[in-house]
Amino acid sequence: MSVSGGGGSQSGLWCQIRADVLNIELRRLCFADTGVLGAAILAGAGVGLFESVPQAARRMVTVEQVFRPDPGRRERYDRLLALYLETYHALKPIYQRMIRRVP
- 62-84: average pLDDT: 93
CB of 9 closer than 8 Å to CB of 32: yes
Please, what is the end-to-end C-alpha distance for the chain in angstroms? 47
Q: What is the pLDDT of residue 100?
A: 85
Q: Taking the domains of the chain in order of start, what are their residue ranges?
A: 1-69, 72-103
**Beta-bridge partners for 3:** 27
What per-residue confidence (pLDDT) applies to 12? Answer: 94
How far apart CA 103 and CA 90 sit, in angstroms, is 24
Q: What is the mean pLDDT of the chain?
A: 91
Determine the angle formed by the axes of helices 12-22 and 71-101, rounding to 10 degrees: 90
pLDDT at 101: 73
Residues 6+ apart with CB under 8 A from 70: 16, 19, 20
Query: Average pLDDT in the 46-74 region?
Result: 94
